[in-house]
């Protein structure tokens, strides 16, 4: 077990390093000159001299390997560089934005699980019936629906038509808690739609798979009530793949959050990424992609390691 953990840790560190290097070289080798961007693009008509000065200031005139070493050394000290646009340290901006994304992402994951698991169980235990058909259809629709479709639908219904919730904007929970709550409702629901559909489907198929196994027949034949068979044995075992799919679900929530933050004007880390992309603000692009990528590597690592804890039958080595 501990050998497995060590191996996975080394693997995660290696993956992180490869990802960091990939991001660095992609940003630096692909066309587009950040110096030109800072000076307002071609429309700003900067002189050769201005471009040269900015390049020098940013260290862009140094050989690429020198820049790479510098970048890595800075990273190790937690320095992600400075935004071209705002002039603030990238790390500060990201630290400000990450909690805001989590404020809608975490409730969305909880909501998706809370809806998806019971519906999936219901569909599996009523296999082939009308309820199963309805739930399965709902689940495919839910994860096929683009986030902007479900988001705009909710805005049209609950904020334009019924006027129950504001259509967007951010209020810090410490300033106005009720205002905060009313503003996270729609983004959270929008974000939860796709993962809820996925959880529903995984729960259903995982339970159906378990129901066909021998231990179920054994339990039934020794006279155990159906209820006890389902909730005492089957449910616990079929939860394993669903719980460990956290990494996959988090990916869906993140992909959705880029669009949800845009629809609801929510200033989280995804909208920081999008703004920096539109402004060609390279240090911020690099920083956000990096933070998100590392988060994912960590989530996958944790998922992998908990697998063995949840399911004792799995032994490594």
Binding to another protein (CB under 8 A) within 144-163 occurs at: 144-149, 152-153, 155-156, 160
Q: How many CB atoms lie within 10 A of CB 85?
A: 15
DSSP 57: H
200: Cβ–Cβ under 8 A, 6 or more apart, which residues? 115, 116, 117, 119, 120, 123, 135, 138, 139, 142
Contact status: 293 vs another protein (CB under 8 A): yes
Contact status: 309 vs another protein (CB under 8 A): no
Rounded to whole angstroms, the Cα distance separating 61 from 48 reads 13
Q: At what angle do helices 269-279 and 246-263 cross, to 10 degrees?
A: 60
* Alpha-carbon torsion (86, 92, 98, 100), positive or negative: negative
Could you give the string, one character per residue 12-51, with x where binding to another protein holds by CB under 8 A and - elsewhere?
A: ---x--xx--xx--xx--xxx-------------------
Rounded to whole angstroms, the Cα distance separating 223 from 82 reads 68
Could you give the string, one character per residue 165-184, with x where binding to another protein holds by CB under 8 A and - elsewhere?
A: --------------------
Contact status: 135 vs another protein (CB under 8 A): no
Question: Which has the closest alpha carbon to 155: 254, 263, 249?
Answer: 263
Residue 58 exposure: Cα atoms within 13 Å on the Cβ side: 25
In degrees rounded to 5, what are phi and psi of residue 82?
Answer: -125, 140
Rounded to whole angstroms, the Cα distance separating 248 from 179 reads 31
- Window of 42-50, 181-189, 226-234, 278-286 that interacts with another protein by CB under 8 A: 278-286
Q: CB of 177: closest distance to another protein in angstroms?
A: 28
Figure out which of the listed residues 166, 173, 241, 267 binds another protein, where binding follows CB under 8 A. 241
Q: CB of 223: closest distance to another protein in angstroms?
A: 30
- 292 CA to centre of own chain: 8
C-beta of residue 85 within 8 angstroms of C-beta of residue 38: no
Q: CB of 266: closest distance to another protein in angstroms?
A: 14
- Window of 73-81, 112-120, 219-227, 242-250 that interacts with another protein by CB under 8 A: 242-250
Figure out which of the listed residues 134, 258, 302, 305 binds another protein, where binding follows CB under 8 A. 258
Contact status: 274 vs another protein (CB under 8 A): yes
Q: CB of 30: closest distance to another protein in angstroms?
A: 4
Q: CB of 94: closest distance to another protein in angstroms?
A: 14
Q: CB of 191: closest distance to another protein in angstroms?
A: 13
Distances (CA, A) of 132 to 66, 124, 127, 201, 208: 60, 7, 6, 11, 12
| Nearer of residues 52 and 280 to another protein, judged by Cβ | 280
Q: CB of 209: closest distance to another protein in angstroms?
A: 6
Rounded to whole angstroms, the Cα distance separating 289 from 270 reads 9
In degrees rounded to 5, what are phi and psi of residue 88?
Answer: -90, 155
| Nearer of residues 41 and 232 to another protein, judged by Cβ | 41
- Window of 85-93, 228-236, 276-284, 309-317 that interacts with another protein by CB under 8 A: 276-284
- Window of 40-48, 115-123, 173-181, 285-293 that interacts with another protein by CB under 8 A: 285-293
Q: Give the footprint of another protein on this chain (CB under 8 A).
A: 15, 18-19, 22-23, 26-27, 30-32, 140-141, 143-149, 152-153, 155-156, 160, 202, 205, 209, 241, 244-245, 247-248, 251-252, 254-255, 258-259, 262-263, 273-274, 277-278, 280, 285, 289, 292-293, 296-297, 300, 303
């Amino acid at each position: 077990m501990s050998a497995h953990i060590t191996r996975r840790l080394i693997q995660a560190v290696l993956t992180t390093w490869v990802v960091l290097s990939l991001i660095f070289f992609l940003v630096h080798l692909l066309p587009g000159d950040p110096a030109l961007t800072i000076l307002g693009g071609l429309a700003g008509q900067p002189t050769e001299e201005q471009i040269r000065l900015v390049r020098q200031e940013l260290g862009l005139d140094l050989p690429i390997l020198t820049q790479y070493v510098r970048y890595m050394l800075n990273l190790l000290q937690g320095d992600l560089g400075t935004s071209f646009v705002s002039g603030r340290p990238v790390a500060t901006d990201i630290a400000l934005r990450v909690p805001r994304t989590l404020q809608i992402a975490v409730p969305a994951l909880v909501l998706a699980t809370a809806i998806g698991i019971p519906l999936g169980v219901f569909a599996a235990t009523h296999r082939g019936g009308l309820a199963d058909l309805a739930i399965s259809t709902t689940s495919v629709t839910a994860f096929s629906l683009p986030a902007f479709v479900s988001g705009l639908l909710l805005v049209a219904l609950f904020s334009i038509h019924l006027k129950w919730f504001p259509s967007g904007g951010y209020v810090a929970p410490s300033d106005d808690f009720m205002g905060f709550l009313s503003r996270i409702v729609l983004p959270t629901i929008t974000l939860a739609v796709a993962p809820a559909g996925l959880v529903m489907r995984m729960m259903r198929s995982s339970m159906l798979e378990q129901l066909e196994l021998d231990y179920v027949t054994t339990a039934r034949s020794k006279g155990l009530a159906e209820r006890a068979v389902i909730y005492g044995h089957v449910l616990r075992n079929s939860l394993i793949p669903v719980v460990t799919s956290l990494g996959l679900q988090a990916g869906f929530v993140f992909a959705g959050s880029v669009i949800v933050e845009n629809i609801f004007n929510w200033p989280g880390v995804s909208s920081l990424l999008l703004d920096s992309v539109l402004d060609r603000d390279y240090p911020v692009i690099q920083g956000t992609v990096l933070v998100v990528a590392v988060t994912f590597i960590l989530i996958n690592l944790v998922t992998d390691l908990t697998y063995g804890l949840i399911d004792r039958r799995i032994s490594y080595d």
